């Protein structure tokens, strides 16, 4: 039996549904039960939160995911328009412009998407880390069942905090939502001392501001592997990285506000490119084995990259068209309601990318399935 570690990238509703397709492909061969570690950012955090909330905060079986979770989430995401509700909430309550729009998002996740659990409600396995970025320290801030914090600010053991707050912090996209403000005073903070034991500490700030985890690592892979170091060998021996982040495209010169956004996008893209190359090099060495699933890739591209072009004919008749793949890749960053055809396209694309990639690079472990 494998011990699978899975990283789910950011990318809004596009990423959320693409990741569901990836999970569905693993479920098709009863592999969800083998997932030991989940690391998520932004849209990936929204995806994992919805999966957990749909199953009363227990990780679903493969059969339960296929038969119950996917139909439920398809109905939810094609019915509720979270983006429109967020806009109305901010317009009707201007205090969120100062308090933080991510706090409004947290309330909507709880009320509209029924993400009502708290971190202590999560199971011990699989271990789920929700990644955000701390404005005050500039470090990766993590939420999980057993702890919250970063090594510079300090941490809280077994924090009693709403999952919706953690996910909203992870999804707090700059220029669109803004940071989640977290009051540090209700919690008992600690740090690792010189002898690597936890010691009580006083938080350096009364409030902290948590941004989108994509600012630090949009793939969410650092929780699984640090640059130049080993994977979590005690927990993971097969790595899955689902990447639904947008590609950087050419853009005309804009006034200063757009220029700031453009510089942020360029910097984020370059940081992610470095992390992606590190992951790809390790996967090519099979150190350990796994799969990198990138939105926008076709069967032709995947099979040509691994020198198995002759096998494209096996799947050509049933796969998405090039136009549908391009639409999925280029869908904008949003939290809007999807039509059923949009949901199905994104979901099927995730399933297909995982299906083709797993078979192309790990055919001794995974079959080529019909979509």
Q: Dump pLDDT digits (tens) for 158-217.
A: 999 999 999 999 998 877 788 899 999 999 999 887 777 788 898 889 999 999 888 888
- CA max distance for the chain: 62
The DSSP result for 322-369, as a single string, is HHHHHHHHH--S--PPPPHHHHHHHHHHHHHHHHHHHHHHHTTT----
How far apart are alpha carbons 181 and 60 in whole angstroms?
32
pLDDT tens column, 219-272: 888 888 765 555 565 678 899 999 998 776 666 776 666 666 666 677 777 777
The mean pLDDT of the chain is 88
Q: What number of H helices and E strands is found in the chain?
A: 13, 12
Give the whole-number percent of the chain exceeding pLDDT 70: 89
Binned at pLDDT 50, 70 and 90, residue 39 comes out as very high
> What is the mean predicted confidence (pLDDT) over 7-33?
97
When mean pLDDT is compared across 104-113, 118-127, 207-216, 339-348, the lowest value belongs to: 207-216
Cβ atoms of residues 146 and 84 within 8 Å: no
How far apart are alpha carbons 51 and 57 in whole angstroms?
8
Q: Using the predicted structure, report yes or no on whether residue 350 has a pLDDT greater than 90.
A: yes
How far apart are alpha carbons 279 and 255 in whole angstroms?
36
How far apart are alpha carbons 158 and 119 in whole angstroms?
8
How far apart are alpha carbons 320 and 348 in whole angstroms?
8
Cβ atoms of residues 114 and 121 within 8 Å: no
How far apart are alpha carbons 212 and 15 in whole angstroms?
14
3-state secondary structure of 242: strand
b/e code 292-329 from CB counts within 10 Å (16+ = b) = bbbbbbbbeebbeeeeeeebbeebeeebbeeebbebbb
Q: Using the predicted structure, report yes or no on whether residue 96 has a pLDDT greater than 70.
A: no
Q: Name the E strands within 110-179.
A: 127-134, 140-143, 147-150, 154-157
Binned at pLDDT 50, 70 and 90, residue 294 comes out as very high
Model pLDDT, residue 233: 58
How far apart are alpha carbons 47 and 41 in whole angstroms?
10
Model pLDDT, residue 293: 96
Model pLDDT, residue 36: 95
Model pLDDT, residue 263: 67
Binned at pLDDT 50, 70 and 90, residue 316 comes out as low
Model pLDDT, residue 319: 84
Model pLDDT, residue 249: 64
When mean pLDDT is compared across 141-150, 166-175, 313-322, the lowest value belongs to: 313-322
Backbone φ and ψ of 272, nearest 5°: -65, -40
Q: Using the predicted structure, report yes or no on whether residue 273 has a pLDDT greater than 90.
A: no
Binned at pLDDT 50, 70 and 90, residue 53 comes out as very high
Model pLDDT, residue 286: 73
Model pLDDT, residue 218: 86
How far apart are alpha carbons 302 and 75 in whole angstroms?
31
């Amino acid at each position: 039996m494998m011990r699978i570690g899975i990283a789910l990238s950011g990318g809004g509703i596009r990423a959320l549904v693409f990741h569901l397709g990836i999970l569905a492909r693993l479920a098709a061969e009863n592999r969800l039960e083998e997932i030991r570690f989940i690391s998520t950012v932004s849209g990936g955090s929204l995806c994992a939160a919805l999966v957990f909330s749909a199953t009363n905060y227990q990780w679903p079986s493969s059969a339960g995911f296929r038969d119950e979770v996917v139909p439920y989430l398809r109905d939810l995401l094609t019915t509720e328009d979270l983006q429109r509700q967020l806009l109305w909430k901010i317009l009707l309550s201007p205090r969120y412009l100062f308090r933080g729009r991510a706090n409004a998002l947290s309330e909507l996740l709880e009320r509209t998407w029924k993400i009502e659990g708290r971190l202590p409600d999560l199971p011990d396995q699989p271990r789920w880390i929700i990644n955000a970025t701390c404005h005050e320290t500039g470090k990766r801030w993590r939420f999980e069942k057993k702890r919250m914090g970063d090594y510079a600010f300090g941490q809280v053991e077994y924090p009693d905090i709403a999952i919706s707050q953690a996910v909203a912090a992870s999804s707090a996209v700059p220029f669109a939502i803004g940071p989640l403000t977290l009051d540090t005073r209700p919690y008992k903070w600690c740090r690792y001392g010189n002898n690597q034991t936890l010691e009580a500490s006083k938080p350096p700030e009364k409030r902290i501001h948590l941004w989108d985890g994509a600012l630090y690592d949009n793939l969410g892979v650092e929780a699984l592997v640090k640059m130049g170091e080993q994977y979590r060998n005690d927990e993971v021996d097969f790595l899955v990285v689902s990447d639904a982040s947008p590609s950087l495209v050419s853009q005309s010169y804009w006034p200063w506000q757009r220029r700031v956004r453009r510089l942020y996008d360029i910097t984020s893209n370059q940081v992610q490119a470095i992390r992606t190359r590190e992951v790809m090099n390790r996967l090519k060495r099979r150190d350990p084995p796994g799969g990198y699933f990138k939105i926008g890739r076709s069967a032709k591209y995947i099979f040509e990259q691994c020198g198995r072009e002759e096998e494209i004919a096996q799947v050509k008749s049933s796969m998405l068209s090039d136009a549908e793949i391009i639409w999925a890749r280029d869908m904008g960053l949003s939290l809007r309601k999807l039509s059923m055809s949009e949901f199905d396209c994104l979901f099927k694309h995730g399933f297909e990318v995982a299906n083709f990639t797993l078979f192309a690079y790990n055919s001794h472990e995974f079959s080529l399935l019909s979509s």
